[in-house]
Amino acid sequence: MSLRVDFPQTIQRVLAGGQVHETAGFFGLPGERLFGVTHLPAGAIHGGLVICSSIGPEQLTSYRNEVVLARRLAAAGVAVQRFHYRGSGHSDGEDVDLTLGTMVEDAAAAAARLAEVTAVHHPSFLGTRWGALVATRAASLAAGAPLVVWEPVADPARAFRELFRTQASHELKIGTPGRRTSEMMLAELEANGQVDILGYALQRGFYQSAIRAALADGLSGRQRLLVVRLGRTVGAEAGLADFTAAAEAAGCAVEVISLEQAPVWHFVDHSAGWGAVLVERTTQWLLAATAAEAAGRGAS
């Protein structure tokens, strides 16, 4: 005898005194469904945003700020689509199949979902950390869509080395028997197809698809771009400088914001305050970019 529990396909709720309507549920084909949350204004919709989260512990660290941003924008008339990549969170699929390419496909599917619900066919994109690699590529499919990147991974090889070092330091701190070096973790990844990093399985497929990825791939001319730096990560300046230079060379209108406070990305950071300015500055920039895009389309 088996027990089957049928959950509703969607869950809806109303927030902010009736200004924001949220729908959480699945979309897409059976076996490839994405789980997402659509944040809708109660009144007129002036634009849209697709949020491309990071993965692993970084997704949890940025979760609250992405939700707060989505609700702030929806209250101001901008519809927002958040989602889980296939092979992560509540979406269908196995983590072994998750690659940078499948993540970009999922971002495009999320944009299509937003268009289906709202008729917004030219959304902006936002990417956090590893999600920035996704957002830059997904935005290229939307011909000049405004783009925001929060503390983007501009040098994937360096970011992977940092992950391995963080795990090694964590094992040293808690006294793990048979502590691994970064080289041992990389060898384990190559041999077994995955390696545990801070309680999450880093899969070989994602590693191989992302390690040589360039953040600037897919940038288009006449694109509005906001780059947000959080704190000062030693060694990251060169990669971000190369990215902004490539964006300007491609014809993008680039704005860089540097904020002093930063989260502890590789661990769930519950410290208060660091996200408030981030959300406020991003909200104002996106509202202005959305209005400018709408005016430009109306004049063409």
Contact 202, 195 (CB under 8 A): yes
Amino acid 218: pLDDT = 77
- Residue 259 dihedral angles phi and psi, to the nearest 5°: -110, 140
Contact 230, 262 (CB under 8 A): yes
Amino acid 174: pLDDT = 87
Q: Which residue has the tokens 């990549």?
A: 85
Q: Is 163 helix (H, G, I), strand (E, B) or coil?
A: helix
Amino acid 272: pLDDT = 55
What span, in angstroms and rounded, lies between the C-alpha atoms of 37 and 68? Answer: 13
Give the CATH number of domain 10-153+218-299.
3.40.50.1820
Amino acid 179: pLDDT = 86
What span, in angstroms and rounded, lies between the C-alpha atoms of 252 and 226? Answer: 10
What span, in angstroms and rounded, lies between the C-alpha atoms of 223 and 241? Answer: 18
Amino acid 266: pLDDT = 74
Amino acid 1: pLDDT = 36
Of 110, 148, 127, the C-alpha closest to 54 is 127
Which stretches of the chain drop beneath a pLDDT of 70?
1-8, 233-236, 267-273, 298-300
Contact 61, 200 (CB under 8 A): no
Amino acid 44: pLDDT = 95
Domain residue spans in the chain?
Answer: 10-153+218-299, 155-214
Amino acid 261: pLDDT = 79
Amino acid 154: pLDDT = 94
- Residue 230 has which token pair? 């959080």
Contact 152, 229 (CB under 8 A): no
